[in-house]
Amino acid sequence: MSLSKNNTAWGIRIIISFLFLLSAVAKLYPSPYFAISTFEVKQLYPMGFSEGFAPYFSRILIGIEFALGFLILQKNFLRSIIIPATILLLAVFTTHLTIVTIQDGGNSGNCGCFGSLLPMTPIEAIIKNVVAIILLIWLFIIMPKSSEKKDNFWILSTVTLASILALFMLAPIQPMESQFSVSTPEETTTIDTTAVDTTKTAPERIVTINDTLKKGDDVMAKIKAVIDEPEKHKSGYAQYFSNIDKGRKTLCFFVPGCDHCREAAKELTEMRKTIKNFPEVSIVFMNEEADLIPEFFKFAGAEYPYKIIEIIPFWKVLGSGKDTPGVKYLWNGNEYKYYWGITDNKFDPVDYQKLIQKPYSELKK
Protein backbone atom coordinates (compact mmCIF):
# COMPACT_ATOMS: atom_id res chain seq x y z
CA MET A 1 0.00 0.00 0.00
CA SER A 2 1.37 3.41 -1.01
CA LEU A 3 2.24 6.04 1.59
CA SER A 4 -0.72 8.26 0.67
CA LYS A 5 -3.19 5.36 0.97
CA ASN A 6 -1.62 4.30 4.22
CA ASN A 7 -2.02 7.81 5.65
CA THR A 8 -5.63 7.94 4.41
CA ALA A 9 -6.36 4.56 5.96
CA TRP A 10 -4.95 5.61 9.30
CA GLY A 11 -6.88 8.87 9.17
CA ILE A 12 -10.15 6.99 8.62
CA ARG A 13 -9.36 4.48 11.36
CA ILE A 14 -8.62 7.25 13.86
CA ILE A 15 -11.86 9.09 12.97
CA ILE A 16 -13.98 5.94 13.34
CA SER A 17 -12.22 5.00 16.56
CA PHE A 18 -12.86 8.47 17.98
CA LEU A 19 -16.56 8.36 17.04
CA PHE A 20 -17.13 4.96 18.64
CA LEU A 21 -15.17 5.70 21.80
CA LEU A 22 -16.89 9.08 22.17
CA SER A 23 -20.29 7.43 21.68
CA ALA A 24 -19.53 4.83 24.36
CA VAL A 25 -18.11 7.32 26.87
CA ALA A 26 -21.00 9.75 26.30
CA LYS A 27 -23.50 7.02 27.21
CA LEU A 28 -21.83 6.89 30.64
CA TYR A 29 -22.15 10.64 31.34
CA PRO A 30 -22.60 12.06 33.96
CA SER A 31 -22.42 8.76 35.88
CA PRO A 32 -22.49 5.20 34.47
CA TYR A 33 -25.58 3.76 36.16
CA PHE A 34 -27.63 6.94 35.79
CA ALA A 35 -26.69 7.38 32.12
CA ILE A 36 -27.23 3.73 31.18
CA SER A 37 -30.57 3.55 33.02
CA THR A 38 -31.71 6.74 31.29
CA PHE A 39 -30.62 5.28 27.93
CA GLU A 40 -32.66 2.16 28.63
CA VAL A 41 -35.83 4.03 29.59
CA LYS A 42 -35.70 6.69 26.90
CA GLN A 43 -34.23 4.70 24.01
CA LEU A 44 -34.68 0.94 24.52
CA TYR A 45 -38.09 0.75 26.20
CA PRO A 46 -39.79 2.67 23.35
CA MET A 47 -38.23 0.16 20.93
CA GLY A 48 -39.97 -2.71 22.72
CA PHE A 49 -37.13 -4.01 24.91
CA SER A 50 -38.36 -5.64 28.10
CA GLU A 51 -37.29 -4.37 31.52
CA GLY A 52 -35.47 -7.64 32.13
CA PHE A 53 -33.50 -7.70 28.86
CA ALA A 54 -32.76 -3.98 28.42
CA PRO A 55 -30.10 -3.76 31.21
CA TYR A 56 -28.08 -6.57 29.60
CA PHE A 57 -28.49 -5.31 26.05
CA SER A 58 -27.47 -1.74 26.94
CA ARG A 59 -24.24 -2.82 28.63
CA ILE A 60 -23.35 -5.28 25.89
CA LEU A 61 -24.03 -2.66 23.20
CA ILE A 62 -21.87 -0.01 24.86
CA GLY A 63 -19.17 -2.61 25.50
CA ILE A 64 -19.15 -3.52 21.79
CA GLU A 65 -18.84 0.18 20.90
CA PHE A 66 -15.79 0.41 23.15
CA ALA A 67 -14.32 -2.75 21.64
CA LEU A 68 -14.80 -1.61 18.03
CA GLY A 69 -13.27 1.75 18.91
CA PHE A 70 -10.12 -0.04 20.03
CA LEU A 71 -10.07 -2.87 17.48
CA ILE A 72 -10.33 -0.58 14.44
CA LEU A 73 -6.81 0.58 15.31
CA GLN A 74 -5.22 -2.90 15.01
CA LYS A 75 -4.82 -5.20 11.96
CA ASN A 76 -6.05 -8.60 13.17
CA PHE A 77 -9.11 -9.58 11.08
CA LEU A 78 -9.58 -5.91 10.21
CA ARG A 79 -11.01 -6.44 6.69
CA SER A 80 -12.76 -9.74 7.32
CA ILE A 81 -14.46 -9.03 10.67
CA ILE A 82 -13.89 -5.59 12.23
CA ILE A 83 -14.79 -3.33 9.28
CA PRO A 84 -17.86 -5.40 8.24
CA ALA A 85 -19.05 -5.61 11.85
CA THR A 86 -18.68 -1.85 12.29
CA ILE A 87 -20.59 -1.17 9.05
CA LEU A 88 -23.31 -3.60 10.12
CA LEU A 89 -23.73 -1.94 13.51
CA LEU A 90 -23.96 1.51 11.93
CA ALA A 91 -26.45 0.18 9.36
CA VAL A 92 -28.68 -1.18 12.13
CA PHE A 93 -28.55 2.16 13.97
CA THR A 94 -29.33 4.02 10.75
CA THR A 95 -32.27 1.78 9.90
CA HIS A 96 -33.78 2.33 13.34
CA LEU A 97 -33.26 6.10 13.15
CA THR A 98 -34.82 6.19 9.69
CA ILE A 99 -37.93 4.42 10.99
CA VAL A 100 -38.13 6.86 13.92
CA THR A 101 -37.76 9.80 11.54
CA ILE A 102 -40.54 8.56 9.27
CA GLN A 103 -42.90 7.81 12.15
CA ASP A 104 -42.23 10.73 14.50
CA GLY A 105 -40.19 13.25 12.55
CA GLY A 106 -36.47 13.71 13.03
CA ASN A 107 -35.98 17.39 13.70
CA SER A 108 -36.36 17.24 17.47
CA GLY A 109 -35.49 15.02 20.40
CA ASN A 110 -32.25 13.29 21.30
CA CYS A 111 -31.44 10.05 19.48
CA GLY A 112 -29.16 8.98 22.34
CA CYS A 113 -26.13 8.29 20.15
CA PHE A 114 -23.96 10.45 22.39
CA GLY A 115 -26.18 10.30 25.46
CA SER A 116 -26.93 13.58 27.17
CA LEU A 117 -23.35 14.79 26.65
CA LEU A 118 -23.92 15.73 22.99
CA PRO A 119 -27.66 15.74 22.15
CA MET A 120 -28.28 14.88 18.50
CA THR A 121 -31.52 14.66 16.51
CA PRO A 122 -32.27 11.46 14.53
CA ILE A 123 -31.61 13.23 11.21
CA GLU A 124 -28.23 14.49 12.41
CA ALA A 125 -27.38 10.99 13.63
CA ILE A 126 -28.37 9.45 10.28
CA ILE A 127 -26.05 11.86 8.44
CA LYS A 128 -23.23 11.04 10.85
CA ASN A 129 -23.74 7.30 10.39
CA VAL A 130 -23.92 7.48 6.60
CA VAL A 131 -20.67 9.45 6.47
CA ALA A 132 -19.03 6.88 8.77
CA ILE A 133 -20.25 3.98 6.60
CA ILE A 134 -18.85 5.66 3.48
CA LEU A 135 -15.50 6.11 5.22
CA LEU A 136 -15.45 2.46 6.28
CA ILE A 137 -16.25 1.25 2.76
CA TRP A 138 -13.44 3.45 1.47
CA LEU A 139 -11.13 1.96 4.12
CA PHE A 140 -12.11 -1.57 3.08
CA ILE A 141 -11.30 -0.78 -0.56
CA ILE A 142 -7.93 0.89 -0.07
CA MET A 143 -6.61 -1.70 2.40
CA PRO A 144 -5.11 -4.71 0.59
CA LYS A 145 -5.79 -8.21 1.91
CA SER A 146 -2.09 -8.66 2.49
CA SER A 147 -2.14 -5.97 5.19
CA GLU A 148 -4.53 -7.99 7.34
CA LYS A 149 -3.38 -10.39 10.05
CA LYS A 150 -5.38 -13.52 10.88
CA ASP A 151 -3.30 -15.21 13.51
CA ASN A 152 -4.46 -13.55 16.74
CA PHE A 153 -8.22 -13.97 17.08
CA TRP A 154 -7.75 -13.94 20.84
CA ILE A 155 -7.10 -10.20 20.59
CA LEU A 156 -10.63 -9.64 19.25
CA SER A 157 -12.30 -11.89 21.80
CA THR A 158 -10.28 -10.57 24.74
CA VAL A 159 -10.85 -6.88 23.94
CA THR A 160 -14.57 -7.44 23.31
CA LEU A 161 -15.19 -9.51 26.43
CA ALA A 162 -13.08 -7.16 28.57
CA SER A 163 -15.01 -4.13 27.30
CA ILE A 164 -18.39 -5.75 28.00
CA LEU A 165 -17.29 -6.97 31.43
CA ALA A 166 -16.03 -3.48 32.28
CA LEU A 167 -19.51 -2.08 31.62
CA PHE A 168 -21.14 -4.58 33.97
CA MET A 169 -18.54 -3.63 36.61
CA LEU A 170 -18.93 0.12 36.13
CA ALA A 171 -22.73 -0.02 36.24
CA PRO A 172 -23.89 -3.19 38.01
CA ILE A 173 -27.48 -4.18 37.28
CA GLN A 174 -29.67 -3.28 40.24
CA PRO A 175 -33.12 -4.55 41.26
CA MET A 176 -36.03 -2.58 39.85
CA GLU A 177 -37.44 -1.92 43.32
CA SER A 178 -36.36 1.17 45.19
CA GLN A 179 -33.44 0.37 47.48
CA PHE A 180 -33.25 3.74 49.20
CA SER A 181 -36.37 5.50 50.43
CA VAL A 182 -36.46 8.39 52.85
CA SER A 183 -39.29 10.66 53.89
CA THR A 184 -39.47 13.74 56.04
CA PRO A 185 -42.69 13.90 58.05
CA GLU A 186 -43.08 17.67 58.15
CA GLU A 187 -41.50 20.79 56.74
CA THR A 188 -38.72 22.09 58.94
CA THR A 189 -38.64 25.62 57.59
CA THR A 190 -41.37 27.97 58.78
CA ILE A 191 -42.74 30.47 56.30
CA ASP A 192 -43.43 33.94 57.69
CA THR A 193 -47.23 34.06 57.64
CA THR A 194 -47.24 37.82 58.14
CA ALA A 195 -46.15 38.11 54.52
CA VAL A 196 -49.22 36.27 53.27
CA ASP A 197 -51.57 38.25 51.08
CA THR A 198 -54.97 37.23 52.40
CA THR A 199 -56.68 38.60 49.33
CA LYS A 200 -55.18 35.73 47.35
CA THR A 201 -56.95 32.90 49.10
CA ALA A 202 -56.86 29.64 47.17
CA PRO A 203 -60.21 27.86 46.81
CA GLU A 204 -60.52 24.98 49.24
CA ARG A 205 -64.29 24.88 49.57
CA ILE A 206 -67.10 27.25 48.70
CA VAL A 207 -70.12 26.61 50.92
CA THR A 208 -73.50 28.18 50.32
CA ILE A 209 -75.99 28.07 53.22
CA ASN A 210 -79.67 28.61 52.63
CA ASP A 211 -81.15 29.19 56.05
CA THR A 212 -84.93 29.43 55.89
CA LEU A 213 -86.79 29.89 59.11
CA LYS A 214 -90.32 28.58 59.20
CA LYS A 215 -92.61 29.85 61.94
CA GLY A 216 -94.13 27.10 64.09
CA ASP A 217 -91.77 24.44 62.78
CA ASP A 218 -89.67 22.40 65.18
CA VAL A 219 -86.74 22.75 62.76
CA MET A 220 -85.09 26.11 63.31
CA ALA A 221 -82.96 26.08 60.18
CA LYS A 222 -82.48 24.22 56.99
CA ILE A 223 -78.92 24.07 55.71
CA LYS A 224 -77.93 23.18 52.20
CA ALA A 225 -74.23 22.85 51.58
CA VAL A 226 -72.76 22.81 48.11
CA ILE A 227 -69.09 21.84 48.03
CA ASP A 228 -67.19 23.16 45.04
CA GLU A 229 -64.45 20.54 44.67
CA PRO A 230 -63.81 17.44 42.52
CA GLU A 231 -64.76 13.94 43.55
CA LYS A 232 -61.97 11.89 45.10
CA HIS A 233 -59.81 9.94 42.70
CA LYS A 234 -56.83 7.60 43.11
CA SER A 235 -53.83 9.31 41.57
CA GLY A 236 -51.54 6.29 41.93
CA TYR A 237 -49.04 8.14 44.14
CA ALA A 238 -50.39 7.02 47.53
CA GLN A 239 -47.49 4.55 47.80
CA TYR A 240 -45.21 7.57 48.15
CA PHE A 241 -47.44 9.92 50.15
CA SER A 242 -50.45 8.51 52.00
CA ASN A 243 -52.47 11.74 51.91
CA ILE A 244 -51.64 12.76 48.33
CA ASP A 245 -55.25 12.21 47.20
CA LYS A 246 -56.75 14.41 49.92
CA GLY A 247 -57.19 18.05 49.03
CA ARG A 248 -54.98 20.21 46.84
CA LYS A 249 -51.39 19.07 46.35
CA THR A 250 -48.26 20.08 44.44
CA LEU A 251 -46.39 16.91 43.49
CA CYS A 252 -42.85 17.40 42.19
CA PHE A 253 -40.38 15.11 40.44
CA PHE A 254 -36.86 16.39 40.97
CA VAL A 255 -33.22 15.31 40.66
CA PRO A 256 -31.16 16.61 43.62
CA GLY A 257 -28.30 17.91 41.46
CA CYS A 258 -30.51 19.39 38.71
CA ASP A 259 -30.25 23.20 38.54
CA HIS A 260 -33.62 23.52 36.80
CA CYS A 261 -35.24 21.43 39.53
CA ARG A 262 -33.72 23.65 42.20
CA GLU A 263 -35.04 26.77 40.49
CA ALA A 264 -38.54 25.27 40.28
CA ALA A 265 -38.43 24.39 44.00
CA LYS A 266 -37.28 27.90 44.86
CA GLU A 267 -40.12 29.42 42.80
CA LEU A 268 -42.64 27.23 44.63
CA THR A 269 -41.25 28.39 47.98
CA GLU A 270 -41.55 32.03 46.94
CA MET A 271 -45.18 31.50 45.90
CA ARG A 272 -45.99 29.91 49.26
CA LYS A 273 -44.94 33.13 50.95
CA THR A 274 -47.62 35.16 49.18
CA ILE A 275 -50.49 32.69 48.65
CA LYS A 276 -52.62 31.48 51.52
CA ASN A 277 -53.58 27.79 51.54
CA PHE A 278 -50.94 26.99 48.92
CA PRO A 279 -51.26 23.37 47.74
CA GLU A 280 -49.04 21.21 49.96
CA VAL A 281 -45.71 20.44 48.28
CA SER A 282 -44.34 16.88 48.17
CA ILE A 283 -41.27 15.75 46.25
CA VAL A 284 -40.25 12.48 44.60
CA PHE A 285 -36.46 12.54 44.21
CA MET A 286 -34.43 10.40 41.83
CA ASN A 287 -31.77 8.39 43.65
CA GLU A 288 -28.95 10.18 41.85
CA GLU A 289 -26.64 12.31 44.02
CA ALA A 290 -29.07 11.92 46.91
CA ASP A 291 -26.44 13.36 49.24
CA LEU A 292 -27.18 16.76 47.66
CA ILE A 293 -30.74 16.87 49.02
CA PRO A 294 -29.82 19.07 52.05
CA GLU A 295 -28.11 21.48 49.64
CA PHE A 296 -31.19 21.30 47.39
CA PHE A 297 -33.52 22.37 50.22
CA LYS A 298 -31.13 25.10 51.32
CA PHE A 299 -31.28 26.58 47.82
CA ALA A 300 -35.07 26.16 47.68
CA GLY A 301 -35.51 28.03 50.96
CA ALA A 302 -37.70 25.35 52.58
CA GLU A 303 -37.80 21.63 53.27
CA TYR A 304 -40.66 19.48 52.03
CA PRO A 305 -41.81 15.89 52.57
CA TYR A 306 -39.99 13.69 50.08
CA LYS A 307 -39.33 10.17 48.86
CA ILE A 308 -36.28 8.84 47.04
CA ILE A 309 -36.75 6.15 44.40
CA GLU A 310 -34.33 4.41 42.06
CA ILE A 311 -33.50 5.81 38.64
CA ILE A 312 -35.51 3.53 36.36
CA PRO A 313 -38.67 3.57 38.54
CA PHE A 314 -38.32 7.35 38.72
CA TRP A 315 -38.32 7.73 34.92
CA LYS A 316 -41.34 5.43 34.71
CA VAL A 317 -43.26 7.42 37.33
CA LEU A 318 -42.30 10.69 35.63
CA GLY A 319 -43.87 9.45 32.40
CA SER A 320 -42.76 8.26 28.98
CA GLY A 321 -41.03 10.94 26.93
CA LYS A 322 -40.97 13.40 29.83
CA ASP A 323 -38.06 15.04 31.61
CA THR A 324 -37.28 16.86 34.84
CA PRO A 325 -38.26 19.06 36.52
CA GLY A 326 -41.80 17.73 36.81
CA VAL A 327 -44.55 19.58 38.72
CA LYS A 328 -48.15 18.34 39.01
CA TYR A 329 -51.23 20.06 40.40
CA LEU A 330 -53.51 17.50 42.05
CA TRP A 331 -56.88 18.06 43.69
CA ASN A 332 -58.42 15.10 45.50
CA GLY A 333 -56.19 12.90 43.36
CA ASN A 334 -57.34 14.47 40.08
CA GLU A 335 -54.59 15.88 37.87
CA TYR A 336 -55.25 19.35 36.48
CA LYS A 337 -51.81 20.37 35.26
CA TYR A 338 -48.49 18.71 34.56
CA TYR A 339 -45.37 20.76 33.84
CA TRP A 340 -42.25 18.88 32.78
CA GLY A 341 -38.88 19.43 31.14
CA ILE A 342 -37.22 22.72 30.26
CA THR A 343 -38.84 23.50 26.91
CA ASP A 344 -42.46 24.01 25.85
CA ASN A 345 -44.01 22.26 28.88
CA LYS A 346 -41.65 23.66 31.51
CA PHE A 347 -42.87 24.87 34.90
CA ASP A 348 -44.40 28.35 34.67
CA PRO A 349 -44.83 29.96 38.13
CA VAL A 350 -47.11 32.72 36.79
CA ASP A 351 -49.41 30.20 35.14
CA TYR A 352 -49.36 27.96 38.20
CA GLN A 353 -50.23 30.84 40.52
CA LYS A 354 -53.31 31.63 38.42
CA LEU A 355 -54.26 27.96 38.17
CA ILE A 356 -54.25 27.15 41.89
CA GLN A 357 -56.47 30.14 42.68
CA LYS A 358 -59.25 28.97 40.40
CA PRO A 359 -62.32 27.34 41.98
CA TYR A 360 -63.26 23.88 40.81
CA SER A 361 -66.20 25.30 38.85
CA GLU A 362 -63.68 27.01 36.56
CA LEU A 363 -61.23 24.12 36.37
CA LYS A 364 -63.82 21.62 35.16
CA LYS A 365 -64.90 23.76 32.22
Please state which of the ranges 88-92, 195-199, 338-342, 345-349 shows the lowest mean pLDDT: 195-199
Please state which of the ranges 168-177, 195-204, 309-318 shows the lowest mean pLDDT: 195-204
Domain ranges of the chain: 3-170, 193-363
Residue 107 pLDDT more than 70?
no
Angle at 172 between CA 167 and CA 176, to 5 degrees: 130
Query: What is the per-residue pLDDT for 227?
Result: 60
Residue 281 pLDDT more than 80?
yes
Residue 206 pLDDT more than 60?
no
On whether the CB atoms of residues 20 and 65 are closer than 8 A, the answer is yes
Residue 329 pLDDT more than 70?
yes
Residue among 161, 166, 160, 125 nearest 32 (CA): 166
Phi, psi of 251 (to 5 degrees): -105, 125
The CATH number of 193-363, from 3.40.30.10, 3.30.1600.10, 3.30.200.20, 3.40.1710.10, is 3.40.30.10
In which band, very low, low, confident or very high, does the pLDDT at 179 lie, cut at 50, 70 and 90?
very low
Read off the pLDDT of residues 183-200 as tens digits, 9 standing for 90 and up: 433 333 333 333 333 333
Query: What is the per-residue pLDDT for 347?
Result: 96
List the alpha helices (DSSP H) in the chain: 3-26, 32-39, 54-71, 83-104, 122-142, 153-170, 259-274, 293-300, 311-318, 349-356, 360-363
- Residue 49, helix vs strand vs coil: coil
Whole-number Å distance between alpha carbons of 244 and 69:
50
In which band, very low, low, confident or very high, does the pLDDT at 29 lie, cut at 50, 70 and 90?
confident
Phi, psi of 168 (to 5 degrees): -70, -25
Please state which of the ranges 122-136, 200-214, 241-255 shows the lowest mean pLDDT: 200-214
Query: What is the per-residue pLDDT for 144?
Result: 85
Residue among 82, 51, 274, 304 nearest 176 (CA): 51
Residue 175: C-alpha distances to residues 40, 51, 178, 230 (Å): 14, 11, 8, 38
Residue 161 pLDDT more than 70?
yes
Please state which of the ranges 81-90, 255-264, 268-277, 356-365 shows the lowest mean pLDDT: 356-365
- Residue 260, helix vs strand vs coil: helix
